[in-house]
Chain A
Amino acid sequence: MPMKPGSTKNLLLRLDPELAGRLQTVADVEGRPVSDVVREAITALVEQRRGDERFLRLLEENLARHRQALDLLKDDQQ
C-alpha cells in the first residue's frame, strides 16, 4: 500500500484496494498520514489485548520461567 511521505514510520502491509481506499479517505479527512491511521488501529488492537488478564499472566509467567534462555538470546541484533 502506498504511504504518504512524512509519516512517523512506514508500515508495510497487504490490504485490498477497497480497504486501502477507505484508509486513505479517513486519513485525508483527518489530515494525517495513512500510516498514522493504521498505527492507531493496531495500537487499539494491542491495547484491547492488553486488557486480557489471563493472556498477560501466562506471558509474565513464561518470561519469568524462561528468563535464562531469553537472556542468552539478548545479543541478537539482527
Chain B
Amino acid sequence: MSVLAYGVVAWLFLIGIYGVVSSRNLIHLVVCLSVSQSATDILLLEIGYRAGGHAPVFVDLPAHPGPAVDAVMQALALTDVVIGAAVTGLLLALAVQVHKRAGTLDPDKLRATRD
C-alpha cells in the first residue's frame, strides 16, 4: 500500500517535469507544472492520512468514527493550492505577453532578444 501511495507522488512529479521539458506550447507547459505541483499536495495529504481516519471536523457526532487524520497537513495542502493558483496565473499572464511579442507559444521557436 505504501509503495502505491508514495509511488503515485513520484510518478506525478516526474511526469509533470517531463511534460515541462518536452512541451511545445507554453500553456501546456503551465498545466504540466500544475500536474507536477499536485504531487506535493498528494504527498502532504498522504503523510497526514491515518487508516480509517475521518476528516478533522468535529461536528457533534454521537460517536466519532475512529481517529481523525492530520489537520496540519491539510492546512499545508491548502497553502500549496493557493500558491499553485498564484503561480499558474502569473505564468499564464506571461504566456499571453509572449504570444503577443513573439507570435508563437512554442518554447523552441522563441529566441531571446531578437529585436
Is B one of A's binding partners? no
Residues of B within 8 A of A (CB): none
